[in-house]
Amino acid sequence: QVQLVESGGGVVQPGRSLRLSCAASGFTFSGYGMHWVRQAPGKGLEWVAFISYDGSKKYCADSVKGRFTISRDNSKNTLYLQMNSLRAEDTAVYYCASVREDYWGQGTLVTVSS
Amino acid sequence: QAVVTQEPSLTVSPGGTVTLTCGSSTGAVTSGHYPYWFQQKPGQAPRTLIYDTSNKHSWTPARFSGSLLGGKAALTLSGAQPEDEAEYYCLLSYSGVFWVFGGGTKLTVL
């Protein structure tokens, strides 16, 4: 069955970096565009970034532009989110997803705090 | 980037019908925004109910339907069940360059 498993979350100080991973299985990962979506505690969903199936197109929200980078390794069936210069407002559960196909991970919590 | 608006909360009686809407600050929502609708229950990841305005997944109950209505995307629930109580989010695509979620609608079945 389809599985997306995020990892790499944790507690990090403001200004530091973190890299999230999302391991995919059960479907042809290389055939699908992928998103990162986040949800701050008690808040709504926020779109973070998108990467096309082959990695040639990458887009991100203004709130993370210049700080976050989305990438993928289709040979490893893995999606990444490199997060630099983290801020308190980046605290959230981060989901990887192929939204059109209803493939969602369980999320990984990132807490930015000193 | 655009702002996407949803009703903050709605209440529907069991067996009743309710329509949730999704508007865009840039103007009318069209099929070109490829509207999505998601259902999220407490402590769970979201699930994609509707994609491309009105297409359903195999798991999407038949009582849910998506459409365009009066310049907005709409999600209609006909014959509400207690298990439909959840937060519902819409997502719009802007030229495939950025996507924006609405603020969510908390649906109560009471």
Provide block-wise average pLDDT over 10 residues at a time, chain A (114 residues). Answer: 97 98 97 98 98 97 97 98 98 97 97 96
CA distances to A41, A56, B86 from B42, rounded to whole Å, are 12, 35, 8
Residues of A in contact with B37 (CB under 8 A): none
The residue type of B97 is V
What residues of chain A have any CB closer than 8 angstroms to a CB in chain B?
35, 37, 44-47, 50, 59-62, 95, 97, 99-102, 104-107
Task: Give φ, ψ of A5 to 5 degrees.
Answer: -125, 110
Give the model confidence (pLDDT) of B25-69 as tens digits. 999 999 999 999 999 999 999 999 999 999 999 999 999 999 999
The shortest CB-CB distance from B1 to any of A62, A99, A101 is to A62
**CA separation for the pair B85, B65 (Å, rounded):** 16
CA-to-CA distance for B102 and B90, rounded, in angstroms? 5
More confidently predicted of B96 and B87 = B87
Neighbours of A29 (CB within 10 A): 24
Q: Which letter does DSSP use for residue A31 in this model?
A: G
pLDDT(B1) > 90: no
Q: What mean pLDDT value characterizes chain B?
A: 97
Cβ proximity of A35 and A49 under 8 Å: yes
Q: Is the pLDDT reported for residue B14 higher than 90?
A: yes
CA distances from A114 to A11, A76, B25, B80 (A): 9, 34, 37, 45
- What residues 21-80 of chain B have any CB closer than 8 A to a CB of chain A? 36, 38, 40, 45-48, 51-52, 57, 59
Residues 6+ apart with CB under 8 A from B36: A99, A100, B48, B50, B51, B52, B90, B91, B92
Report whether A45 contacts A37 (CB < 8 A). Answer: yes
